[in-house]
Structure 1
């Protein structure tokens, strides 16, 4: 298989995963984008990074986008190339906003763009490959499809469905000045959970999915906000991680006590409120050292922005 393009570019959104009870299964794309361009060359690989990660991430073959791009080219039998890559990164690293999943999806989408054939690396193949590299699809699925997603694994094959949240879902991210590697956050989780806690989360995750579709019909006079507060409760992972990110869980407690449906974003330490927050809350959080960022739901996933396949790679706008 030959490469039809020598200069391509993609943009890929951040994501928040788990959303409270949906451990390793629920995710949502956020309107915060990394932009990556690639020139195919005959020379050595060189990576220029601006924004998040500049000066700290690898600038050659070890860069995650490069590794994912090469993996995808190998998978489809396309030739390897020298790579001159420029990254404009807006997604914070090791903060629970899907930066690694976005990098993996970007690399695979860049391989698709270089080949330039519609039938090569379909959204399902990008989802499969990305989830295999990442280890789970909860951030990969929204990065590919946009919107909110429910995802799962069946062996090496990933499954996902997309839903479009109602306008009342207006995420706000509270990003701390410290990071937390996902591997560290996962090490504190128990191997076995009580049946009661599993049942608790299953009910809330089901309710949250219903709310995200915008089709929930409550049995009585209950507001969407009240249902969302209930639907974002969790017993499987957030409290278990308190010791490794006490400021994040303290912020979740404070926000929920003030009436906002707040959760830890992915493995943390970023916190996300699924609803708009008052200006006073924003000011207090910023004064305490949090970067507060409106992060609306992204309507599309990864997009090829330069090349003959330019346009949404996953779900359309």
Structure 2
């Protein structure tokens, strides 16, 4: 039997919601899956050793954990559009895909909640893997090996402009630049902005997003890792963006724009061509379904 699986890109943090907020986007990795007699085969990824391939290692881990030996899988990349190490959840997408593939091969013993717990344990935090699995904008809490999450309504007239460079920023590198401690003032700043962001999204109050996406936990420390950030943010604001944030740990930057701001893409694209870094722009929407399996 053959089927396809599609998993969305995700953006995390959305400004103040460090390791807590995530959003699924209409950019996808799609794989063709073939059931085989036994074993795990991942084709078309020869540049990545199997022991470092997250789809392979995730499937292998679950097969071993559930003592599954009856049926194997062959994974064939079909469309791979999520760039690596750009703050768009490429690792979470691979982990989510691996869990879904293993679950299907084992006869689907895992419920969605099980998949979320496993994915978070493998990823280390829930902000990307939860929206990759369930879609939408999600607030997640990881406590005592349990993930509690809630989906957040997104205004229908809001879409997301992704400015993606040709250089990468590793998550490890982006975390090393962060301080070990924060002042009470900075913590209050982020708590209040995160609460405002959730409320403003749910109420459709786009005019409040600029205030709601303020951050003192990670973005200012990561600015030096992304040359051109300040200039791109300033240009986005001049083009009537509602807010600008680093997508995950970078290097991608994201602007929240109204759907009828039809000139944003063309004008930003012209500007990006003047910048070093090989920047490209994609206008994406919220993916509300998360991972999907097709016959």
TM over 0.5: yes
Greater mean deviation of Cα atoms: 246-255 or 126-135? 246-255
Q: Secondary structure at the match of 1:206?
A: helix
- Distance in 2 of aligned mates of 1:255 and 1:180: 21
Aligned to 2:268: 281
Given the alignment of the two structures, is residue 152 of structure 1 paired with residue 123 of structure 2, yes or no? no
Q: Secondary structure at the match of 2:157?
A: coil
Q: 1:111 aligns with which of 78, 98, 102?
A: 102
Given the alignment of the two structures, is residue 96 of structure 1 paired with residue 78 of structure 2, yes or no? no
- For the 8 Å contact 2:196–2:212, the answer to whether it is kept is yes
- Distance in 1 of aligned mates of 2:57 and 2:131: 21
Given the alignment of the two structures, is residue 246 of structure 1 paired with residue 235 of structure 2, yes or no? no
- Distance in 2 of aligned mates of 1:111 and 1:135: 20
- For the 8 Å contact 2:2–2:34, the answer to whether it is kept is yes
Calculate the aligned-residue CA RMSD, in Å: 2.1
CA deviations on 1:138-197 (whole Å, 9 max, x unpaired) are 001110110100001012221211123111320111100101110110111011011111
- For the 8 Å contact 1:8–1:113, the answer to whether it is kept is no
Given the alignment of the two structures, is residue 265 of structure 1 paired with residue 247 of structure 2, yes or no? yes
How many residue pairs get matched? 286
Q: 2:48 aligns with which of 46, 51, 57?
A: 57
- Following TM superposition, by how much is the alpha carbon of 1:281 offset from its aligned partner in structure 2, in angstroms? 2.1
- Following TM superposition, by how much is the alpha carbon of 1:254 offset from its aligned partner in structure 2, in angstroms? 3.7
CA deviations on 1:200-255 (whole Å, 9 max, x unpaired) are 11111111111222x26xxxxxxx33301111111110011122223234423442
Distance 1:245 1:37, change over 3 A: same
Distance 1:43 1:109, change over 3 A: closer
- Distance in 1 of aligned mates of 2:34 and 2:221: 45
- Distance in 2 of aligned mates of 1:166 and 1:96: 23
Q: Secondary structure at the match of 2:180?
A: coil
User: Gaps (5+ residues) in structure 2?
Assistant: none
- Distance in 2 of aligned mates of 1:116 and 1:43: 14
- Distance in 1 of aligned mates of 2:248 and 2:230: 13
- Distance in 1 of aligned mates of 2:254 and 2:234: 12
Q: Secondary structure at the match of 1:233?
A: coil
Aligned to 1:37: 32
- For the 8 Å contact 2:73–2:105, the answer to whether it is kept is no
Q: 2:218 aligns with which of 217, 234, 237?
A: 237
Aligned to 1:72: 62
Greater mean deviation of Cα atoms: 99-108 or 242-251? 242-251
- For the 8 Å contact 1:113–1:304, the answer to whether it is kept is no
Distance 1:80 1:15, change over 3 A: farther
Q: Secondary structure at the match of 2:94?
A: helix
TM-score w.r.t. the length of structure 2 is 0.89
Residues 200-211 of structure 1 mapped to structure 2, 5 A cutoff: 200-211=189-200
User: Gaps (5+ residues) in structure 1?
Assistant: 1-5, 217-223, 307-317
